[in-house]
Structure 1
């Protein structure tokens, strides 16, 4: 990944935060066709030097056969992003730019035993993402879930490298960054700036 200072980081703590925030990543295999699929990921554990993600995919996905031969992969996570007009800055001159967060993960895939492995991945991902106020729990549909997991393949991804780019206008002063946040937050929801505002607050104005 090319990312100049001050936008680049290989901090695993930030990688974990980005994965938790974004969830969906595009897994790219290292075969000749560079077979790729968007998949949901979660952090299984990160301790004692081990950084492991888990995910799953439909057994009909050709990715499964590819990964049996090419277990080394890259996963690309795209976070919130937004066009920024020069009019949204305090200082001048400026040119239009784009602010965003992205994370590249490299690692090796290991398939899980079945059917328990796929069932566990689906259950933990559901409990990780389901709003606590929804009143729904996956245990309520256990029989139905078990009918589906035979068509799902779960896997772990042992991370060997992580690189992130947080291009969130942090090269400016804190005053200018605060002004940018307020300007974006005040715009119509149709522009979809809510997530990028939260990213600036979380990763830069913390």
Structure 2
């Protein structure tokens, strides 16, 4: 059985969110607690083990961003070729609230993951310190993991937005059908009663 447009978009959002979560959690687990200080003449050179933390964090950033993009697409996508005006979607308060929450959580997930990845990258590249007491730090513990959970939460919120969007679209299309039915009934009544139409 072929997947519908709704199913394809839902699976894409969920898959990207889950992958962003997995990469973020693995990055948290692979991140070393600290580097190894090597003392030189008036400096300390920090040596860090070779690990995929920065690459995993970068992948998580990209996947989380793509999940958010597809989340926005899920709200405004013209399902079955039928577009719905934005004002019709804005009438649904729950959709507006969840859209704002999904956008905020997505932004927080991106910001935390970027903070952790950039910090880790800076520690690796700027590894020569004149402070002889340096402990060769790495990115703050918990940043990768927290960002990973936020990325997963964001994808779930986008899925909720998609469901609320489908409900709002159904309500809008039902209202449109009712309006057409009432308009058609008025025209039929006046057509069947020419005297009334002439009087009007």
After TM superposition, the score normalised by the length of structure 1 is 0.23
Greater fraction helix: 2
Identify the structure with bigger relative contact order (alpha carbons < 8 Å, sequence gap 6+). Answer: 2
Greater fraction strand: 1
After TM superposition, the score normalised by the length of structure 2 is 0.23
Bigger Rg over Cα: 2
